[in-house]
Amino acid sequence: MSPDSQTLRFIRHRIPAFECEPGCHDCCGPVTASGEEMARLPRKSDAEHAAALDELSCPHLGKTGCQVYAERPLICRLFGTTPRLACPQGKRPASMIAPHIEQQIYRYFEVTRHVLL
């Protein structure tokens, strides 16, 4: 397992989960992902990427919601778990993300190349 895989796994397991508002996709706009995260996602065509960007959406957002929820990128997991990225619907986990884990995520973002989905 690569150091990036280990870091990603460590961080992902420390982001608290919560139930989203059914039918809400307010945080499903264009997002970025690392190469490690991209490797876990199904490939989308250039046309699918362009169409999603035209709609200010994510190419993995389907009619029933996120089609890659189990493998969604860190930025998607972070929404609603920190006051910096509050859920527009007011949803949140019982306990917000630990500040030191949030700092690790932002460090990961700083040192890891990310691309637009």
Q: What is the largest CA-CA distance in the chain?
A: 39
pLDDT band at 72 (very low <50, low <70, confident <90, very high): very high
CA distance 117 to 115: 6
What element of type H or E holds 115? strand 114-116
46-60 pLDDT, tens digit each: 999 999 999 999 999
pLDDT band at 84 (very low <50, low <70, confident <90, very high): very high
HEC states along 34-59? Answer: EHHHHHHCCCCCHHHHHHHHHCCCCC
1-35 pLDDT, tens digit each: 665 788 899 999 999 999 888 888 888 989 999 99
- In the chain, domain spans: 3-116
Task: Decide: 12 and 40 in contact? Cβ < 8 Å.
Answer: no
| Confidence (pLDDT) at 21 | 86
Residue type at 2 in one-letter notation:
S
Evaluate if pTM is beyond 0.85. Answer: yes
